[in-house]
Copies of this chain bind each other. A is one copy, B any other.
Amino acid sequence: MFVREMSNEECRGLLARLGFGRLATVNQNQPYIVPIYFGYRDEHLYGFTTFGRKVEWMRANPLASVEVDEVVSHFHWSSVVVLGLYQELPDTPRYRDLRLEAQLLLEKKALWWQTAYAVNQARGGSYPVDALFYRIRINEITGRKAMPDTVESSVGLSSAARPAREE
């Protein structure tokens, strides 16, 4: 297996294509990770969520991190890490265009609203009272890509080392 750094363009290509990853937030030096759906354009990741621990923490400390990865097999994967800044997009005239952009980007992902909705129902809440749009401004982006070497390529064809995800 060879591992190499991904170019900026490769990193952004993965963000645009996947739209699913993990978000880390921090409170008093304690990190916390949750899975998220997001839409990507230019310098921002756009998301939709209900109010909870991650929003509470990012309101107090807007520094955030998002990681996405694509695993074809143990020898063949890509992982991109974003360091960024949280910004809420409230339901006011000033943010109308940005909220619309967030919604248009997220609508490319099937059922993007449903997780926030269902989690809220599990808490006994109602939709969409405490649902909100937000975005993460990208401050730093890095990525690594692993490719199989020639021996692993042949091993990878056997059933013993079949891809972790087959689509």
Chain A residues with a Cβ under 8 A of chain B: 1-5, 22, 24-26, 29-35, 61, 63-67, 69, 74, 79, 81, 83, 110-111, 114-115, 118-119, 121-122, 144, 146, 161, 164-167
Contacts and interface: CB of A to CB of B under 8 A. Distances in A.
Given A26-B30, A65-B24, A65-B33, A121 B81 contact: no
A165 B29 CA distance: 34
A137 B66 CA distance: 23
Given A3-B122, A122-B3, A22 B31 contact: no
Contacts of A5: 122
Instruction: Say what secondary structure dominates the interface of chain A.
Output: strand
Q: How many copies does the complex hold?
A: 2
Contacts of A110: 74, 161
Given A35-B79, A74-B111, A114-B1, A30 B119 contact: no
B31 A64 contact: yes
